A = this chain, B = another copy of it.
Amino acid sequence: VNKSVHQIVLGVFALTVALTTVCTAFAAEPKPEEEVRYRQSVFNVIGRNFSVLGAIAKGERPFDQALAQKSANIVEALSTLPFGSFGPGTDIGTHKSDPKIWKENAKFKEAAEKFQFEAAKLPAAAKDLDTLKLQVGAVGKTCKACHDDYRVKDKK
């Protein structure tokens, strides 16, 4: 039995090697343009899911606990991801990242950590509406602070 289990594991491993290439465009070190796209993707997904929580907090949407939980979990799970993709050389292409990000990186990191700190509390806060409202406000404040300082404004 042990031998055949071992063979199955080996066979599946070979299959894994063959198949994972399909979903793994980034197995090598990501290029700067991939980093830009990645952090933009993460922020886009965070923004969409946080907007669900924002609409619930504002009373524009009914409080659906399962939906709030799912959205909160996603914002929390993604909250640390973008900030690994602001490394040297990633100030290229089309983006709204302020050059200050690379010049005063320690301060930017601090602003990012404030967001992560508040986002980490969202999943627990999604259990009831009053707590969620408070925490959506706390997270929103960290979004705004970082956008004010480190995101280039859209031209009017």
Contacts and interface: CB of A to CB of B under 8 A. Distances in A.
A51 B47 CA distance: 23
Interface in A24-46: 24-27, 30, 37-38, 40-42, 44-46
A54 B9 contact: no
Copies in the complex: 2
A19 interface: yes
A139 interface: yes
Interface string A73-92: 11001100100000000000
Interface in A1-37: 9, 12-13, 15-17, 19-27, 30, 37
A59 B23 CA distance: 16
Contact of A140 (B19, B37, B40, B57): B19
Interface of A: 9, 12-13, 15-17, 19-27, 30, 37-38, 40-42, 44-48, 50-51, 53-55, 57-58, 60, 70, 73-74, 77-78, 81, 130, 133-134, 136-137, 139-141, 143-144, 147
